[in-house]
Amino acid sequence: MIHEFRDEIMKAVFSIRFDAPESEAKRLHTVAEEMFDEIRRLETLLSRFVEDSDVAQINRLPCEESVVIAAETFHCLELAEEATQLTNGYFDVAYLSATANGERPFSLLTKPHRVRAKVESLHVDLGGIGKGFALDHVAQIPILYGYSRALLCADSSTTLALNPPENTPGWEVRIELDGKEHRCELLNEAVSCSGTSVRGEHVFDVKRRTWSTQSKRCCLFVKSAALADAFSTAGLIMTLEEFDCLTQQHKFCYTKQLR
């Protein structure tokens, strides 16, 4: 039996589906609430709209000053910097920051976890990776309770599949591309889709220094929901040649034949 739970967090609708016996409904509700509570906690760290969040404090840093941040924020920023490297700068959480003579506008320091500003106008925005990071982060919670057959979603843009429902090849998900609805199965992997049809011009083209106006939708599959988020955002502003190069160069991100 499929059990589904929903909550609105991070300005998105998060949903969790479990495949489990009907008798497990009450316990699954408790597990889902624990997952939603943890996502809410992450929002207090990662959202630039929360006044005392880690990201808000980072964005108030004077040049060469640093601030201690939570381990989760540090890990999310590490993944974001990895995505910046892997996408040749097409994904960048500091896209609105002042330039730093060709260097990154901030640095990550350990013992304790800290961020140091390298510019006067540092602006970090984890909106392009935070929801996927949240899905990855809470995915271990149901497993600890013995529920490994689960599907986690943040709106219709990012989905993370654990083990599939019993006697199925994967979790069936629906993806809209080119104005058509397609279907595919997910098995221990994530998919993220970015586009302008739903939210309009919300992706900044870091190469052309303007908001992307391309009317297209990019869909990528990766084992990590956070990196799926980042790569699909980058793919939206890439040319077809650059996008093909991304998927060929990094075999852990890929497209799928949809039906």
CB atoms inside a 10 Å sphere around CB 95: 19
Distance CA 62, CA 56 (A): 13
In sequence order, what are the beta bridge partners of 221? 191, 254
Dihedral of the alpha carbons of 185, 139, 12, 213, in degrees to the nearest 10: -60
The pair of three-digit structure tokens given for residue 240, joined into one six-digit string: 């077809």
Closest CA to 119 of 145, 98, 90: 98
Binning the chain into helix, strand and coil, the percentages to the nearest 5 are: 30, 30, 40
The pair of three-digit structure tokens given for residue 94, joined into one six-digit string: 């500091």
The model carries a pTM of 0.89
What is the model's pLDDT at position 101? Answer: 77
Per-domain boundaries in the chain: 51-117
Distance CA 255, CA 63 (A): 41
In sequence order, what are the beta bridge partners of 160? 152, 190
pLDDT tens, per residue, the chain with 259 residues: 999 999 999 999 999 999 999 999 999 999 999 999 999 999 999 999 999 999 999 999 999 999 999 999 999 999 999 999 999 888 999 988 877 677 899 999 999 999 999 999 999 999 889 999 999 999 999 999 999 999 999 998 899 999 999 999 999 998 877 677 888 899 999 999 876 544 444 455 555 555 455 545 678 889 999 999 998 888 888 878 888 887 877 766 766 655 5
Sequence-distant (≥ 6) Cβ neighbours of residue 35 within 8 angstroms: 16, 138, 141, 142, 152
Distance CA 97, CA 118 (A): 10
CB atoms inside a 10 Å sphere around CB 75: 15
